Amino acid sequence: MRSIADQTIDELGGPGSVLARQRADHIELDRLLQQLDGTTGAAQEEVLTRIDRLVFSHAFAEETVLWPVLRRVLPDGEALTLRVEEEHQEVNELVTALEADGPDDPRRPARLARLVEVLREDVRDEEDVLFPRLQEAVSVEELRRLGRRWELMRRLSPTRPHPTVSRRPPGNAFSGLPLSVLDRTRDLVDAGVRRAPEQLVPVGAAVSKGLAALADVVERIPLSRKGDQPPTSR
């Protein structure tokens, strides 16, 4: 098996293939991780936000579209996808902790370093193991169909960490749409706050906090936690 990192676009099934789409996101993630290195303060927060928006929608689309296929077509698909789900869960927990940290929290550098490490491990597991196995098991036409489904799901997926939500159906399927609406609305509010006059900042911050509270309610609905075998949600 050859890593998808070493294959041409044609070998991956064309630009519409799920493998080509995944690798494009991984290339962008690598660029952002390099940009993150050495940053501090507001510049670091800006890059982390961009990483979050990329990573969480990408992972949710994998968990809802790709991993069920791998579990169906590979005899060891259960073990392979569980490893990546555990990586996704750790990313959720690390980003949640970083968001709660103050800028001077002594744990922040170690958490940031571990986040970068896990994200790079996740990319290698997918590009070197999971996706070559998927490539062997399904046709090019199926890779392109999966690419269309994955891209649609990515555009409808949550954009923030939700560590208590199941990484598998039915929990992720149940919670995905409401969390996506809340996250993406909050993204717009937060972007507006950064551009707003000073007197409107508290209003925007209050709206963002309220949306976060609603997302927390969705996360904690029992059905949102169902499906992990064994559990990978907190």
Within a 10 A sphere around the Cβ of 38, how many other Cβ atoms?
A: 8
* DSSP assigned state of 230: S
Q: Does 198 have pLDDT greater than 90? A: no
pLDDT reported for residue 229: 78
Helix (H) / strand (E) element for 161: namely: none
Any idea how long the chain is? 234
Read off the tokens for 218: 């969705």
pLDDT reported for residue 34: 97
- Residue 138 phi/psi, 5-degree rounding, is -130, 165
pLDDT reported for residue 230: 79
Q: How confident is the model at residue 128 (pLDDT cuts 50, 70, 90)?
A: very high
Q: Does 213 have pLDDT greater than 90? A: yes
- Mean of pLDDT values over 117-126: 98
- Mean of pLDDT values over 36-60: 95
Q: Does 234 have pLDDT greater than 80? A: no
pTM of the model: 0.95
Q: Which residue matches tokens 């891209």?
A: 151
Q: Is residue 198 exposed (0-12), middle (13-18) or buried (19+ Cβ within 10 Å)?
A: exposed
Measured between alpha carbons, how far is 66 from 143 in angstroms, rounded to an integer?
10
What tens digit of pLDDT does each residue of 180-190 get?
Answer: 999 999 999 99
Q: Which residue matches tokens 């996250």?
A: 183
Q: Which residue matches tokens 């990978």?
A: 232
Q: Is residue 120 exposed (0-12), middle (13-18) or buried (19+ Cβ within 10 Å)?
A: middle
In angstroms, the first-to-last Cα distance of the chain is 34
pLDDT reported for residue 145: 98
